[in-house]
Amino acid sequence: MSELLTAISIIFIVMGPFLLVANRFDLPTVPFFILAGIVAGIGMDWFGIDEALTLELAQYGIALLVFSFGVGIDLSSIRSVLIDSETAALGQVLLIGSLGVGAGVALGVPLSEALYLGIAAALSSTIVGTALLQVEIRMNLVHGRVAESIQFLQDLLAILFLLVLSAGVLAADPIAEMLGYGLSLLVAAVLVNRFLFDAIGRLAGDSSELMILATVSLLALFIGAAEVAGVSIVVGAFAAGLAVRHDPTEYLGLFNGLQSIKDFFVAIFFVTVGALVVWPFVEIGWAASVDKILIAGALVFLTAVVKPAVTTAILLYRGYESRSATLAGLNTDQVSEFALIIAIEALLLGVLTESVFDAIILAAAVTMISSSITNYYSEEIYRALSDRGIFTSGHGKIDAWSDVPDRMFDHVVIVGYGRHGQKLVETCEEHDRPYVVIENDPARRNEVRAECDAVVIGDAMERYTWEKAAAEDARVIVSTVESETVSRRILSLDFRADIVLRARDQETALSLLEAGALYVNVPALLAGRQLVDQIQALLDGDLTAAELREQQLTELESNTHTSLNGSADDTPSVRS
């Protein structure tokens, strides 16, 4: 226990300064976590902490992170892109996995160990992916949903690999037994999610603390069941995550509490990855270092270059526009944490040598750092590729999902069908004003098509989306999306229509006005103005306390399940 506390203390003492630098200069935190881990690894060696303890810490860290990813899965949101994601995930695993195995064999790695190189090359990280895509997933952007569902399907495949590995031998009966245990855990998770979790919520009442305690108890129960069954604790943790009902609105306190736990173990995970790195030419000899660099270099090339290209090509073939396909592909350019847990299990079982394990760890550290950088510059990468004519025109998904009359003129283009977008649609219909809604979440296409006269399901960053919406002939374009990137893209298209945008703060709003916007909504300013008006009405006697309360309750209840995409309601603040 003392060694564990010493290891955790070293991790956080070393991590603090690195994280401060990253936050001070607004840089991606993942590279700094891994660099901190490298330094922490030196400190652990100095204190005589055994590598086995670091491996154990990594195992439990990965398990808890996989649990948090399972909690965050919203099957209803990824169902609309599941078939395309299934094609991309399976195609990616088969092709990249085969190339990984082939590269390992070509470099002299035995076939039994080259299989683990194939797994490491094929699987992508849900931890890195969802961490980098928080905004895209929260805003329901197409590429965020596609990437999330690809990672979910790959996690299921990784669980299959883990169950086979848990059997210990390549024999039909032990493997079938492990698969049965794993399937039982997943079925139990689904049953808890559908029939038990809401009952737990009712018993907990309004206590977020009781819900967090109940959820942690579920996690302990599933991990304990996995231990008893002899399967990896990661399988139990993933099942426990699926058992939690994904309803952040109903269980807001629970999800906020779990987010804090997730942030803690995200840091632990990345730092332990850095701590496990064995440096070539420093900690090992020349010949072994060359072999390790060759193996790790092949893994990095397959993971960071070939895998995103394959994923992008598959999504383009399935009809996605080039930007969504490229950004989703770029989010797969790292080694998965599941690949690491599989490698750790194989190392402990004695079926993977230290040299190959060290190469996988080094490749994971490099690709997790490079992935945060490629995500940071993803728009620039896409524009560079697009300007060089890499992509061919492909708009099958937009055409299939959209419904716009042949001739539109003097209409309103509304970007986003959240609460604000819905009220704009109601206003247009009340005044018989033609309109087109641009919505970027494919999961909502049936709802939007049922409620709106004209809709385009597509990426507002793509010119074809605007062509489909006949924006050149529009009278007004109103964006309800609080994204400076989207706002500046709309302005750059230089439409003749008046443009109304939305911004998070006054500084951004003023900048957008100077760039050509007619009007910019700033929700924070309106909220303050509304509060002042309501308090003044209460003090003047124009509004009673009961009326104010009833008004607020009505407004909150009417918008409880509205998407956060464009959630501001009539937020005028800054006018040109």
Lowest-confidence pick of 75-79, 243-247, 258-262, 472-476: 75-79
Residue 363 falls inside a structural domain: no
Going 139 to 142 to 147 to 150, the CA torsion angle's sign is positive
- Check pLDDT > 70 for residue 201: yes
**pLDDT band, residue 571 (cuts 50/70/90):** very low
The last residue of a domain, from among 387, 422, 454: 387
Burial class (CB in 10 A: 0-12, 13-18, 19+), 199: exposed
Q: Which residue in 487, 493, 497, 490 sits closest to 574, CA to CA?
A: 487
**Do residue 381 and residue 400 come from a single domain?**
no
Determine the pLDDT at residue 574.
35
Q: Which alpha helices (H) appear in 192-251, and where do they start and end? A: 197-204, 208-229, 233-243
The reply to whether 414 falls in a domain is yes
pTM of the predicted protein model? 0.78
Q: Which amino acid is at 486?
A: V
Percentage, residues of the chain above pLDDT 90: 31
**What gap in Å lies between CA 163 and CA 183, rounded to an integer?**
10
- The pLDDT assigned to 77 comes to 57
pLDDT at 23 over 50: yes
- Checking if the pLDDT of 24 tops 80, the result is yes
Which residues, other chains included, contact 354 with Cβ-Cβ below 8 Å and sequence gap of 6+?
347
331 and 477 share a domain? no
In a domain? residue 24:
no
pLDDT of residue 564: 36
pLDDT band at 300 (very low <50, low <70, confident <90, very high): very high
CATH number, domain with residue 295 = 1.20.1530.20
- Can you tell me the distance from the alpha carbon of 522 to that of 502, in angstroms, rounded to the nearest whole number? 6
Question: CA 341 to CA 351: how far, in whole Å?
Answer: 14
Task: Give the H or E element holding residue 412.
Answer: strand 412-415
Say yes or no: 422 and 485 in one domain. Answer: yes
Give 204's pLDDT tier (boundaries 50, 70, 90): confident
Does residue 294 sit in the same domain as residue 442?
no
10 Å CB burial of residue 103 (0-12, 13-18, 19+) is buried
Question: In DSSP terms, which residues pair with 544 in a beta bridge?
Answer: none
Residue 414 and residue 372 in one domain: no
- For residue 509, the enclosing domain spans 396-575
Q: Compute the CA torsion angle 22, 486, 132, 321 (nearest 10 deg).
A: -140
What is the tens place of the pLDDT at every residue in 105-118?
A: 999 999 999 999 99
* DSSP state, residue 278: -
Q: What angle do CA 476, 480, 484 make, to 5 degrees?
A: 100
Q: Are residues 373 and 498 in the same domain?
A: no
**331 and 464 co-located in one domain:** no
| Whether residue 400 sits in one domain with residue 305 | no
Domain count, the chain: 2
Residue 565 sits in a domain whose CATH number is 3.40.50.720
Q: What's the rounded Cα separation, in Å, for the pair 559 and 565?
A: 12
C-alpha span between 94 and 96 (Å, rounded): 6
Q: Is residue 26 part of a domain?
A: no
pLDDT surpassing 60 at residue 541: yes
* Closest CA relative to residue 154, chosen from 122, 112, 106: 122
Q: What is the pLDDT of residues 288-297, one digit of tens each?
A: 899 999 999 9
Band (pLDDT 50/70/90 cuts) for residue 136 is very low
Q: Give the model's pLDDT for residue 425.
A: 93
Q: Which tens digit of pLDDT belongs to each residue from 302-347?
A: 999 999 999 999 888 877 778 888 988 988 898 988 898 899 989 9
- Most confident range (mean pLDDT) of 151-160, 398-407, 511-520, 556-565 is 511-520
The CA–CA distances, whole Å, from 207 to 67, 253, 262, 557 equal: 22, 8, 20, 20
Is 4 part of any domain? no
Same domain, 306 and 336: yes
Q: Mind listing the pLDDT tens digit for each residue in 161-195?
A: 888 888 877 788 888 999 999 999 999 998 998 88
Question: CA-to-CA distance for 555 and 508, rounded, in angstroms?
Answer: 28
pLDDT at residue 132 greater than cutoff 50: no
Q: How far is 303 from 369, CA to CA, in rounded Å?
A: 12
Could you say which DSSP state residue 405 is in? -
103 and 213 inside one domain: yes
pLDDT at residue 74 in the model? 67
- For the segment 546-569, the average pLDDT, to the nearest whole number, is 58
Q: Which pLDDT score, from 0 to 100, does residue 499 have?
A: 94
**Last-in-domain residue among 327, 355, 387:** 387
The confidence band for 561, taking pLDDT boundaries of 50, 70 and 90, is very low
Query: Which phi-psi region, left, alpha or beta, contains residue 565 (left: φ > 0; alpha: ψ -120 to 50)?
Result: beta
Least confident segment among 79-88, 222-231, 278-287: 79-88
Residue 394's pLDDT is what? 65
Residue recorded with tokens 């303050």:
528
In a domain, 29, yes or no: no
- Domain co-membership, 434 together with 332: no
Q: Domain boundary at 324, 359, 387, which?
A: 387
Query: Which tokens is 21 given?
Result: 């630098």
Cα–Cα dist 184/163, whole Å: 12
Domain identity same for 326 and 419: no
Residue 1 domain flag:
no
Asked if residue 347 is part of any domain, the answer here is: no
In the predicted model, what is the mean pLDDT of the chain? Answer: 83
Cα Rg, the chain, nearest whole Å: 26
